[in-house]
Structure 1
Amino acid sequence: MSRYTNRIFSALISCMVIAALSSCSTPKHNVIVMSDLETSNAGTLGMSIPELTIVPDDELMINVTADVPQAAAIYNLPLNVNVPRSDLKTGVSMERIHTYRVDKQGNINFPVLGKLHVAGMTTTALADELVKRISADVENPVVVVDLLNFKVKVTGDVKTPGVIESDKQHISVLDALAAAGDINLQGRRDNVLIIRENNGETTYHRIDLTNSKTWTPEYFYLKQNDVVYVEPAPARIDELTYNERRSFSVSLASIIVSSASVLTSLVIALTK
């Protein structure tokens, strides 16, 4: 092997090593949630948990009881009416399930009391209002109101994107991401997008999970039907783009080689 050939070979090896090291380099974006608290052992985030308000299309379970159950019976729906998906809550008997769908105007039709406007109220406020009205006819009524169909969507650069359902009255963006398998290593934690429908308008807000000082309760805690989108890091986008181009190049090369092979065979056959 000549000296010139050796130099070319060495140069090629060097290029391959540099390329390998570049592809294995660590991402430059911050992958640590709440990295601003790394030096702190304890403290508070200074956020109170906001109570959800009822919106159209919510499904509510409302159960009315009293010291004398027969007196409260007329304020409950007939048994087994409007029972939602698969008994709704595990462990709740069919006889105690009473569900109401909030219409587009924010109303429900409640036994005896008629049409009630509930949109904008919390479940606690609605229970208190029902107790106040029912107390006119029933002694010591007890009203329980639960939101049954709370769900959000998590999409983007997470392990298992999809719909997240919860029977809690509140769920944080961290809860939703954990339920989706967490953000992938190359997902951007500093630019998570929250999309929300608010009074007929679609709004959005970006949250930096790496800096807890920028969090606000309004968006850190999610509302019904919110969408959480995790943006891929630029390196991830470049990787996907490169893979698509490489796949196209390989397919194109395969077509060219196949075509050349066919043409060669044809030429050989014609020249015999």
Structure 2
Amino acid sequence: MNKFYKAIYILVAVLSFTSCTNLKKATYFNNIPETRFQSNLENLEPVLSENDLLSISVSSLNPEATQVFNPMNSSEISKYNENKSPEYLIDEDGFIRFPFLGKIKAAGKTKQDLREEITNELVKRKLLVEPIVFIRYLNFRVSVLGEVSKPSVLFIPSEKVSILEALSLAGDLTIYSQRNNLLLIREENDAKKLTRIDLTSDDIFTSPNYYLKPNDVIYVQPNKAKVESTSRLITWLPVIISVLSFGIIAITR
């Protein structure tokens, strides 16, 4: 009888350890105490590239003179342009074509760099006095796919989104996701950079990947339980279909 009780205790202990392990795999940021993290905001502003769509508007002390730099064509305004300002697509050579200034190299620069260049050219050519140039991304988007509730392409009007916010907008991870092995696919210098992310660790808060960049792709991999359940379903599906078919034939006869 004592051996029986010992076996029961051992079984309970094993089950408890297993349940704790599974719980850790299913939750975020395990065992993180109350603390403060300094986010890594270095190089947060992305570099412009070919096929980026920009909204560029100009204002100055002379509204009439400024109007020629804000041509409007409602038929070409995208639905993501809330201010209905002029849109400029960076061509395959990395240029935009701006009124009176002609071709301007945009690819490889930040928005701030491009803003300063346009402002300086307007002043240098004496086209406007004290011009103010506004530039916004219109195609700042990230993709979230895999084991999330709502795989989506997310458009970010604020031009700033963390990986946690993106996952929240995609309906959060499912219970079948690998929270410690997300894959971030990022375009850098005409190449794809692949990075693994562990959401069960607090390292994400100080990671340069905490804030996403335009065209980032997050892939959430399924865990072993999801793969095994799918495999079992595929294995038993022919048997289930055969049984149902036999039952239908038996009923009809």
- Look at both structures and tell me which one has the larger radius of gyration over its CA atoms: 1
Identify the residue that residue 162 of structure 2 maps to in structure 1: 172
TM-score, structure 2 normalization: 0.81
Identify the residue that residue 130 of structure 1 maps to in structure 2: 118
Structure 1 residues without counterparts, runs of 5 or longer: 1-20, 266-272
Q: Is the 8 A contact 1:151 1:165 kept in 2?
A: yes
Q: Deviations over 1:199-246 (max 9, x none)?
A: 332331111111132666543222222211101111111112112222
Q: 1:111-130 maps to which residues of 2 (within 5 A)?
A: 111-130=99-118
> Partners of 2:165 and 2:182 in 1: how far apart?
14
Identify the residue that residue 11 of structure 2 maps to in structure 1: none
Aligned length: 232
Give the counterpart of 1:253 among 231, 239, 243: 243
Query: Is 1:44–2:42 an aligned residue pair?
Result: no
Identify the residue that residue 7 of structure 1 maps to in structure 2: none
Query: Is 1:58–2:44 an aligned residue pair?
Result: no
Range that drifts further, 148-157 or 219-228: 219-228
| Cα distance change, pair 245–117 in 1 and its aligned pair in 2 (3 A) | same
Q: Secondary structure at the match of 2:76?
A: coil
> Partners of 2:94 and 2:245 in 1: how far apart?
60
Alpha-carbon distance, 1:181 to partner: 0.6
Give the counterpart of 1:224 among 214, 220, 228: 214
Identify the residue that residue 68 of structure 1 maps to in structure 2: 62
Q: Secondary structure at the match of 2:35?
A: coil
TM-score, structure 1 normalization: 0.76
Q: Is the 8 A contact 2:40 2:208 kept in 1?
A: no
Aligned-residue CA RMSD in angstroms?
A: 2.6
> Partners of 1:201 and 1:176 in 2: how far apart?
23
Identify the residue that residue 31 of structure 1 maps to in structure 2: 26
Q: Is the 8 A contact 2:56 2:134 kept in 1?
A: yes
Identify the residue that residue 11 of structure 1 maps to in structure 2: none
> Partners of 2:66 and 2:243 in 1: how far apart?
77
Runs of 4+ in 1 over 4 A off after TM superposition: 214-217, 255-259
| Cα distance change, pair 217–101 in 1 and its aligned pair in 2 (3 A) | farther
| Cα distance change, pair 34–248 in 1 and its aligned pair in 2 (3 A) | same
One-letter amino acid of the counterpart of residue 224, structure 1: P
Alpha-carbon distance, 1:79 to partner: 4.6
Structure 2 residues without counterparts, runs of 5 or longer: 1-14
